[in-house]
Amino acid sequence: MRLPPTQAAIRVLQEEHDLLSAMIRGMEYFVRTVAEGGKAPESKVFRAMLLYITEYPDRVHHPKEDHYLFARLRERSNAVDDVLDTLESEHKLGDRLVLQLQNALTRFELHGALAFGDFSNQVQRYSQFYHGHMRLEEDIVLPAAVQYLNSFDWEEINAAFLANDNPLAGTDYKKDMQKLFSLIANIAPPPVGLGPET
Ligand SMILES: [Fe+2]
Ligand SMILES: [Fe+2]
């Protein structure tokens, strides 16, 4: 269940989860379509979606979680340390899974139907993995943050989540990612996007 966004950081975190979820669900939709005998979207659509789910977490989302929300929460309480350990290692695991997904897509592009099953499985696996990850953050970490963080902590965390960039790299990645999201919306065929029918 979703917490009311009583802090800007909570709202931004939930919005970023929604964007990632939309992208992953979009990939699942296309994979399901192909499995049911429909046509695959152009390769560049899958490629752009994969680029999004590779770069958005790494460049925009995870640094704010790791270095602000999780770090401050660890300082204030040990109550959810185990969960934070899991989530931090999942941030690294996610990078590996997404790489496997990229390789599976390349094999699908090279070998066609023969390699589709593996690509499809990897998409399902990644979706389960990342949705589970986001649920843990929303169901366990955010309520703990509301319970244990003080107003000074929130001031700092809100500022980090509201910054329209990666606060550590000082680069406006979020804007780049917004452009990529719009591009995908424009090239992906309906009902996922507004692009041409395949
Ligand atoms: Fe995360
Ligand atoms: Fe997250």
Which tens digit of pLDDT belongs to each residue from 35-60? Answer: 999 888 888 899 999 999 998 898 88
For residue 145, how far is its CA from the centre of ligand 2 (angstroms)? Answer: 14
Fold of domain 8-187 = Four Helix Bundle (Hemerythrin (Met), subunit A) (1.20.120)
* C-alpha distances in Å from residue 73, one per residue of 17, 88, 137: 20, 13, 12
The Å distance, Cα 162 to ligand 2 centre, comes to 15
Kindly list the domain boundaries of the chain, sorted by start residue: 8-187
Contact 108/120 with Cβ under 8 angstroms?
A: no
Residues 6+ apart with CB under 8 A from 66: 88, 91
Residue with token string 């990897």: 122
What is d(CA 49, CA 28) in angstroms, rounded to the nearest whole number? 11
- Global pTM value: 0.91
The CA 164 to ligand 2 mean position distance, Å, reads: 16
Ligand 2: centre distance to CA 18 (Å):
10
Q: What is the pLDDT of residues 6-39, one digit of tens each?
A: 999 999 999 999 999 999 999 999 999 999 998 8
- How much of the chain is in helix, strand and coil states, percent to nearest 5? 80, 0, 20
Closest-lying ligand to the alpha carbon of 84? 1
Instruction: Identify any residues that bridge with 166 across adjacent strands, giving them in sequence order.
Output: 171
How distant is the alpha carbon of residue 160 from its chain centre? Answer: 18
Q: Give the SS3 label for residue 191.
A: coil
58 Cα–ligand 1 center, Å: 10
CB 164 within 8 A of CB 54: no
Residues 165, 172 contacting (CB under 8 angstroms) = yes
Contact between 160 and 4 under an 8 Å Cβ cutoff? The reply is no
The identity of residue 124, as a single letter, is Q
Neighbours of ion ligand 2 (CB under 5 A): 137
Question: Tens digits of per-residue pLDDT, 65-114?
Answer: 999 999 999 999 999 999 999 999 999 999 999 999 999 999 999 999 99
